[in-house]
Amino acid sequence: MQKDSPLFSRLPPEVRSKIFAYTVAEYEDVNNPYPINDTWKPSYSAPRKICLELLATCRAVYLEAWFLPFKTIEQSIWLTRAHFRPILWAQAMQKLNKLLSIIERQLGQSRVEIGSLHVYATVEAVEKGMLLKVLQTPGLHPRQLVLTISHEDWPDWNWDAPLRFEAGWIKGIFGVISSSTQAFIIELEVVEQRKNQVDVIAKHIAEHWFFRRSDGNVLYADASAKCLQVSQWTGPSSWRNERWAVDSNGVKQVKYHTLTVAYELELSVKAKGGMVSEAAMKNSADPSYEHLSVRVEDTINSLD
């Protein structure tokens, strides 16, 4: 492929960039799926791959597109129990640090944005500040930040303890979330039997929690009902031949329920027809405000 090719002579760089990004996009290797009784999610049912043949076609393409796989694929970090991490993900943080350093050096830029950072974490890990440590990674500027709490990541999840999510960690990440981050998405997953509990958690954090970026701008959730996106999937009820408490009736498959709450700039929320809660707006203007934790047990007792 040469410079006089229509790809370079007729198409503007921004169009070529989109074509190249699509070509090197990440996908699941469906020919090599994870074992059905292994840890996996709907988006992680097989190892993820990218095809780099495009970069070998010619020097001109390589010079324009070599960094796109690093910027466009979703970078995933696992702050979960070791045996619940997918295969080959143990060194994800070290690899991310190396990639960011390479991109900055090769592009000659001190600030390089990546498309998405997806953090899978236990509630305990978030509360202990491990998410904060990830966000403090030098040069980390994701346009989208996703935090997923899976069904096995809640405290005492296997013994049906009431759901809870402390809030002390939130103020710790104020000023640490990159100004490049346009959306902070929190995914809360539970087994279907506990969906009423996660509904309580999601409603609370949508109405009361907010997140301040490093530039001072605040990310809010849409407090209207349409803010809560619901998804469901079905997976195995055992892990490495060990049955869970939720498998007490001998059911070999369990249904999972996920609620997603997205935090964006106020203008973005309203542009989509949503609304920011008055409580979140008021509290974000108070520098001394302490976020409220949510415990389902406390909520139930307050209704008695």
pLDDT in tens, 34-43: 766 655 666 6
What is the pLDDT, as a whole number, of residue 300? 47
What is the pLDDT, as a whole number, of residue 304? 42
SS3 230: strand
Q: What is the pTM of this model?
A: 0.83
Whether 218 and 284 have beta carbons less than 8 Å apart is answered as: yes
In this structure, of 142-156, 184-198, 243-257, the range with the lowest mean pLDDT score is 243-257
- Token pair 């296997």: residue: 158
Q: CA 58, CA 2: separation in Å to the nearest integer?
A: 7
pLDDT at 271 over 80: yes
Average pLDDT of the chain to the nearest whole number: 83
The pLDDT of 199-207, averaged and rounded, is 93
pLDDT interval class at 2 (50, 70, 90): low
pLDDT at 150 over 80: yes
Beta bridge partners of 186: 147, 261
Q: CA 61, CA 106: separation in Å to the nearest integer?
A: 16
In this structure, of 94-108, 117-131, 208-222, the range with the lowest mean pLDDT score is 94-108
Alpha-carbon separation of residue 107 from 1, 25, 33, 63, 115 (angstroms) = 23, 20, 35, 10, 16
Strand blocks (E) in 150-267 = 164-165, 183-191, 211-212, 218-221, 229-236, 238-239, 242-243, 253-265
pLDDT at 157 over 80: no
In this structure, of 8-12, 15-19, 284-288, the range with the lowest mean pLDDT score is 8-12
Helices (H), the chain: 6-9, 13-23, 59-65, 68-72, 92-107, 123-127, 130-135, 168-173, 195-208, 266-271, 278-284, 296-303
Percent of the chain residues past pLDDT 70, beyond the cut: 81
Higher pLDDT, 158 or 300: 158
- Token pair 């295969």: residue: 87
pLDDT at 302 over 50: no
Beta bridge partners of 144: 116, 183
pLDDT interval class at 215 (50, 70, 90): very high
pLDDT interval class at 244 (50, 70, 90): low
pLDDT per position as a tens digit, 260-270: 999 999 999 99
Q: CA 280, CA 218: separation in Å to the nearest integer?
A: 10
CA dihedral 84, 144, 91, 110 (to 10 degrees): -170
Whether 157 and 117 have beta carbons less than 8 Å apart is answered as: no
What is the pLDDT, as a whole number, of residue 173? 96
Higher pLDDT, 211 or 93: 211
What is the pLDDT, as a whole number, of residue 70? 74
Percent of the chain residues past pLDDT 90, beyond the cut: 40
Most confident of 21-25, 81-85, 260-264: 260-264
- Tokens in use for 76? 């995933």
pLDDT at 289 over 50: yes
What is the pLDDT, as a whole number, of residue 37? 60
What b/e sequence results for 42-77 when a residue is b if at least 16 CB atoms lie within 10 Å of its CB, and e otherwise? eebbbeeeeeeebbeeeeebeebbbebbbbbbebbb
Q: CA 96, CA 32: separation in Å to the nearest integer?
A: 24
In this structure, of 65-69, 170-174, 175-179, the range with the lowest mean pLDDT score is 65-69
The pLDDT of 76-95, averaged and rounded, is 70
